[in-house]
Chain A
Amino acid sequence: MIELENVTKVYRMGKVEVPALQGVSLTVQKGEMLAIMGPSGSGKSTMMNVIGCLDVPTSGRYVLEGDEVGRLTDDRLAEIRNRKIGFVFQTYNLLHRLTALGNVELPLLYGSGSNRRQRALEALERVGLGPRANHRPAELSGGEQQRVGIARALVKSPSILLADEPTGNLDSRSSIEIMAILQGLNQEEGLTVVIVTHEADIAEHTRRVVSMRDGQVVNDEPVRKPRQAVSIGEVRERR
Chain B
Amino acid sequence: MSPLTTLRTALSSLGASKLRSGLTLLGIVIGVAAVISLMAIGRGAQQAITANIEALGTNLLFVRPGSTSQGGVFGGQGSASTLTLDDAYALLDTVYAPSVAAVAPELRATGQVVAGGKNTRTQVVGVTPEYQFVRNVPVASGQFVTWGQVDNISEVAVLGSGVSETLFGFRDPVGQTVRINGRQFTVVGVLKSQGGGVQGLFDDQVLVPITTVSYRLASQRTTQGGVTVQTVNVQVRSGDVIDSAVQEIATVLRLRHRITGDDDFTVSSQQATVETLQQTTNVFVVFLGAIASISLLVGGIGIMNIMLVSVTERTREIGIRKAMGAKRRDILLQFVSEATLLSLGGGGAGVLLGLGLSRLMDGRSLGNQTLHTVFSGDIAVLALVVSAAIGLFFGIYPAFRAARLHPIEALRYE
Say whether A associates with B.
yes
Question: Could you tell me which A residues sit within 8 Å of B by CB distance?
Answer: 49, 52, 54-55, 74-75, 78-79, 81-83, 87, 89, 93, 95, 97-98, 106-107, 109-111, 152, 156
- Interface class of chain B by DSSP: helix
CB–CB A106/B327 < 8 A:
no
Listed A/B pairs (23) with beta-carbon separation below 8 Å: A49-B408, A54-B322, A54-B323, A54-B407, A54-B411, A74-B327, A75-B327, A75-B329, A81-B322, A81-B324, A81-B325, A82-B324, A82-B325, A89-B411, A93-B316, A93-B411, A106-B324, A107-B324, A107-B325, A109-B1, A109-B9, A109-B326, A156-B325
B330 CB within 8 Å of chain A? yes
| Residue in contact with B327 in the complex, picked from A83, A95, A110, A152, CB distance below 8 Å | A110
Per the bound structure, the CA–CA distance linking A79 and B323 in Å amounts to 10
The tally of CB-CB contacts under 8 A between chains A and B is 61
**In the complex where A75-B327, A75-B328, A78-B326 touch, is A106 in contact with B321 (Cβ < 8 A)?**
yes
Contacts of A111 in B (CB 8 A): 325
**Looking at the complex, which one of A89, A98, A110 makes contact with B330 (CB distance below 8 Å)?**
A110
Tell me whether B16 is interfacial, beta carbon within 8 Å: yes
Q: Which single member of A74, A75, A83, A97 contacts B16 (CB below 8 Å)?
A: A97
B112 proximal to A (CB < 8 A): no
> Which listed residue (A54, A55, A74, A83) contacts B328, Cβ 8 A?
A74
Q: Known: A49-B408, A54-B323, A54-B407. Contact between A110 and B329, CB under 8 A? A: no
A52 vs B322: C-alpha distance when bound (angstroms): 12
- Asked if B16 and A87 make an inter-chain contact with CB atoms under 8 angstroms apart, the answer reads no
Q: How far is the CB of B19 from the nearest CB of chain A, in Å? A: 14
B320 beta carbon closer than 8 Å to chain A: yes
Interface residue tally on B, bucketed by range: 20 to 34
B120 interface hit (Cβ, 8 Å): no
Determine how close the nearest CB of chain A comes to the CB of B113; give it in whole angstroms.
82
Judge whether A81 and B321 touch: CB under 8 Å. Answer: no
Closest to B407 in A: A54
List 13 extra interface pairs beyond A54-B322, A54-B408, CB under 8 A.
A52-B323, A78-B325, A79-B325, A81-B323, A81-B324, A87-B324, A93-B319, A93-B320, A95-B317, A106-B320, A106-B324, A109-B1, A110-B325
Residue of B nearest to A156 (CB): B325
A residues within 8 A CB of B407?
Answer: 54
| Other-chain residue from B319, B327, B330, B408 in contact with A55 (beta carbon distance below 8 A) | B408
Residues on B lying within 8 angstroms of A by beta carbon are: 1, 5, 9, 12-13, 16, 316-317, 319-330, 407-408, 411
Query: Once bound together, how far apart are the Cα atoms of A38 and B381, in whole Å?
Result: 63
Q: Which B residues lie within 8 Å of A106 (CB)?
A: 320-321, 324
- Structural contact, A110 and B323, CB atoms closer than 8 A: no
Min CB gap A152→B, angstroms: 8
Q: Which residues of B contact A97 (CB under 8 A)?
A: 12-13, 16
Contact, CB under 8 Å: A83 / B325: yes
Query: In the complex, what residues of B have CB within 8 A of residue A89's CB?
Result: 411
A85 to B: closest C-beta gap in Å: 8
The 7 A-B pairs with the shortest beta carbon distances in the complex, nearest first, are A82-B325, A110-B325, A107-B324, A97-B16, A78-B327, A75-B327, A81-B325
